[in-house]
Amino acid sequence: MTISNNILDKGNPSYEIVGTSVPTERLRAEISRVAPFDSSVLITGPSGSGKELVARALHAQSSRAAGLFIPVDCASLLGELMASQLFGHVEGAFTGASYAALGCFRAADRGTIFLDEIGELELPLQARLLRTVQERIVTPVGSHEGQPVDVRIVAATNRDLTQEVAAGRFREDLYYRLNVVSIRTLPLRERKDDIPELAQSFLVSLAQQGLPMCTLSPGALEAIRNYHWPGNVRQLKNFLEQAVIASDTELLTLLFVQQLLPHADRGEGVLREGPADPLGTLPAIFSSPGQIDDESPWPTLAKLERDHLLYTLEYTYYNQSAAARLLGISRQSLIRLMKKFAIQVPRLPGKPLRK
């Protein structure tokens, strides 16, 4: 284990909690309220929703911020290897132990240890962890002498630990020791207002890593905002990286983004392409009328008009003259419609829009 790689980098923007939605503001307030105390924290929520980000924020705002933040993936190692990583070992404790090792708990002394995917921890290791959580004493593998540690414990899981306890897969006493304070992260589909800011943050971060600086068109932004993102923020970040690499232009358009989105579910209200509709302007309910039910949103005439206008602009890369010709209206009429529906021409960083 390389300790320096696990230190919280306060200057790294990827550790910032991005977004201004009501749930995100509430999460920030909860972190600020909990961070000053040394109580154990259990962070729950779906995979990819930012649980480690919350843990790092707790550490950064605590009195332990000068100490190390040590993340441990509890699902990655089993048996004595995990025990050694958590609690350390003495020289000769097992085959290959040619030197003593501190272990993550002692490395995080006066700092924070983050036990990610705690629900994956084996029952024998749960018993050893319980003593450390209760007494703040670590016994290295191969030793009988306990070592005191001063560490804050933050754990995270995407499982329902109450169900795991009921099924006998997680110790009830350990659950209560870890769940002194509980913080829950929400899936991205429940905080869609954060998507535009998250997307911009990821695109800037990718550019700082050497990739082209790309911009999402209004239609593309609307498409990713409407998508349900089962993989949450992590999936959104990976998708944008894929899009930037695959794009031939610095403008990521709606049609381009929709080609990359998984076809299983492109999101409620997103327009889709059909065989008799070369611009992709028909809503899905018209291409599959038999699938309409009481819960399907029926588009208003204004929405259809705006969507058709947006698709035409996307199709022409926002060349207003070309878009007006396709729509059979004057350029002045097109500009009035764009103002009516608050559609703006996206501007690329450092260069004019491609005509």
245 falls within a domain: yes
pLDDT score for 89: 67
19 falls within a domain: yes
355 falls within a domain: no
% of the chain exceeding 70 in pLDDT = 80
CATH code, domain with 18: 3.40.50.300
Contact in structure between 53 and 154 (CB atoms under 8 Å): no
% of the chain exceeding 90 in pLDDT = 50
Structural domain that includes position 314: 192-340
CATH code, domain with 274: 1.10.8.60
pLDDT score for 170: 96
Q: Which of 151, 186, 221 is the last residue of a domain?
A: 186
pLDDT score for 224: 94
354 falls within a domain: no
Q: Is 206 in the same domain as 110?
A: no
Q: pLDDT digits over 334-344, tens only?
A: 888 999 888 88
Q: Is 173 in the same domain as 219?
A: no
Contact in structure between 67 and 108 (CB atoms under 8 Å): yes
Q: Is 268 in the same domain as 223?
A: yes
Q: pLDDT digits over 175-185, tens only?
A: 999 999 999 99
The pairing of strands 147-148 and 137-138 is: antiparallel
65 falls within a domain: yes
Q: pLDDT digits over 277-334, tens only?
A: 444 444 444 444 444 455 556 778 888 888 888 888 888 878 888 888 888 888 888 8
234 falls within a domain: yes
Q: Is 76 in the same domain as 125?
A: yes
**Domains identified in the chain, total number:** 2
User: Higher pLDDT residue, 152 or 311?
Assistant: 152
pLDDT beyond 50 at 38? yes
131 falls within a domain: yes
Q: Which of 131, 157, 186 is the last residue of a domain?
A: 186
Q: Is 144 in the same domain as 178?
A: yes
Q: Which of 186, 208, 235 is the last residue of a domain?
A: 186
Average pLDDT over residues 111-129: 93
User: Higher pLDDT residue, 144 or 192?
Assistant: 192
Nearest partner of 159 among 150, 174, 148, 169, judged by Cα: 169
Q: Is 170 in the same domain as 218?
A: no
pLDDT score for 96: 58
Q: Is 66 in the same domain as 173?
A: yes
